[in-house]
Amino acid sequence: MSRDGADQAGPDQARPDQAGPERAGPDPTQIRNQPAFWSASRGRWLIPAGLLGVVAVIMLAMTLSLQILIPWGGILLTVGLYLVMVACAVWMRDVHRRNIAFAWLMGAMAFVPVLALVLITVGEARGLG
């Protein structure tokens, strides 16, 4: 008790104005607690993934004059991953699991064209084109 009779929180008790692990509720700074993983908005994932897919397809289409197989493989994988995202948006009901799937699929959509461009560059440097 303080002089005015009000209770004070001890070092192991949480106060509402405190930040840190003592605070009640989930920590919004942790990756698993980001609002994008818990909101029901499908557009939050599908619109940026669509833009990423368009940019990736354009970049890979520009390399078709260098090689054929790797750019077409990258284009098909990118489009396929986006179609899987759309399928998840339609058929997955659990919001959190759907958003986790969206995150993994969008990460794969970013990885595929980068890997394809690296393989194209290595192939051209070695004269395999």
Q: Where are the domains positioned within the chain? A: 42-125
Which amino acid appears at position 79 of this protein? V
CA–CA distance, 60 with 81 (Å, rounded to integer):
15
Does this model's pTM top 0.85?
Answer: no
Give the model's pLDDT for residue 41: 84
CB 110 within 8 A of CB 45: no
Residue 104 parent element (H or E): helix 95-125
Greatest pairwise CA separation for the chain in angstroms: 83
What digits encode the pLDDT tens for the residues 74-107?
Answer: 999 999 999 999 999 999 999 989 999 999 999 9
pLDDT-flagged residues of the chain (< 70): 1-25, 28, 35, 128-129
Cβ neighbours around 55 below 10 Å, total = 13
Burial class (CB in 10 A: 0-12, 13-18, 19+), 80: middle
